[in-house]
Structure 1
Amino acid sequence: MTNCLGDSGPRRGADDFVVKPADPRELVARIRAVLRRVAGAEGAPGSEGQEVARFAGWSLDTRRRELLRPDGVAVELTSGEYDLLLAFVERPQRVLTRDQLLDLARNRPYGGLDRSMDVQISRLRAKLGSRRHGDGEPGLIKTIRGIGYLLSSPVEWSG
């Protein structure tokens, strides 16, 4: 059996789904997002045998989908929070728009009025403890006003 991308390996299975009746524009946007993820996965750091991203003392094990605080305690993430954090650690110190984050986090296309991305960012910030501190030190996920967000810390990958 082969999936729609011709991959007959162990990665068979659903990547996304659309509820009928589907808006043709949403269907096209989702197909494009899947194709971008497949194309991007070939060049992503985690795809070269590197499975652990380390940033600002934190550790994200992409194979086990586990986030560890700097003190070694595991932090539970929802699927959406994990996908969002993965989008950030794969593109550290790079501004990502809400639209890009929605595509990368395997959600639906951004409609311009949707604040769900802001809510997910807020929840992820709370779990990372990355709110602005009284000393003026910015958090790990920085808001770039009018554009989007970025992970302010560099990321190192290891196997």
Structure 2
Amino acid sequence: MRLVALSALTLLLAACTSMAAPTPPRSTEPEPSETTTVPPTPPRQEPFEITTDVSGVREWQNSPEEMGFVYRVQPIDFTLTPRNTGSTPQSDARLRFVVEDMDGEGDLTVGGDGWECEGGRDIACTATGATEPGGTWAPLTLTMRHTKGGQTRVVVHWADVTPSVIFRYDTGT
């Protein structure tokens, strides 16, 4: 009788083992003690901003490489504020403004506190010092004068970007 009871117990144990729940697959999620931090993607910063206080100016932007302003007053002042879009401090800023007449015969003068600017149709501006990532340099004042209505393109060379800014003096009523 003992032999039968031992055999029955062995069979019962074998049956229970085969009916046990399968081992769940190992999770790929990190354990609570494991922390993985992905830094957020910072918003895209424009390399510079151009604004004006003159009312009635219409602004447009076709792409990051081309923007423009249409206005009916002159001379007109714009403020250009360059920004450090890099991930390290930037020292000594250099901007270049190349004036290209389209049909407007425009003249551009550029200047600002802390900047040295020279040139006529190809204006080079430099500033010394350092600016942290995301920081801005002292603003520059761009003054546009036209001898007749029409457009003047100014190509701005700043760091690794060269967008065009179209200044359009509209003499229409």
Give the TM-score range, shorter chain: under 0.3
TM-score by length of 2: 0.21
Higher helix share: 1
Higher strand share: 2
Computing the radius of gyration from Cα coordinates, the structure with the larger value is: 2
TM-score by length of 1: 0.22
